[in-house]
Amino acid sequence: MISIVHSKQSKWLLCLGIILFMLGLIIGLFIPILKNSRMGLSAHLEGTLNGMFLLIIGIIWDRILLSTQQLKWTFYLVLYSSFANFLAVTIAAVSGAGKMMPIAGGKDAGNLVEWMISILLISLSLALITACILIFKGLLKYLHLNK
């Protein structure tokens, strides 16, 4: 049986997934005028892909069997990592920064901006890995119970 909290979290993931997907589409309109257009394309892709990720997680949320506390952590980790990913790459596209992302043409843009982007990238990576481990654990429990 799905709890009310479980159901609310699922609905929030779906709503926020659509918002992030739309933000990814909107940033795509500005690619030609961004300081680093290649990073702008990355921001566009991060927004749309992370938006779809949230939608998928929202759809399968009732199959993730975790304790209430683990579910709460997973919910916030998934949201943080998805939006932080979009934000970090968007900041890099607008500022031209992104020393940690040299493939997308990021240049050194000063300590504060680089520090902010680096903190976002490192923390979102750890958050998303943790969330994926928890989701996998919850899905395994679901599969085990539904043999």
Look up the pTM and report it. Answer: 0.92
Q: Which among 58, 78, 56 is positioned nearest to 133, based on CA atoms?
A: 78
Please give the tally of structural domains in the chain. Answer: 1
pLDDT score of 114: 86
Quick count: other Cβ atoms within 10 Å of Cβ 126?
Answer: 12
| Residue range of the domain that includes 60 | 4-145
Distance of CA 71 to the CA centre of its chain: 17
Q: Which amino acid is at 139?
A: L
pLDDT score of 98: 76
Mind listing the pLDDT tens digit of every residue in the chain (147 residues)?
Answer: 567 777 899 999 999 999 999 999 999 999 999 999 999 999 999 999 999 999 999 999 999 999 999 999 999 999 999 999 999 999 999 998 877 777 666 666 677 888 999 999 999 999 999 999 999 999 999 999 877
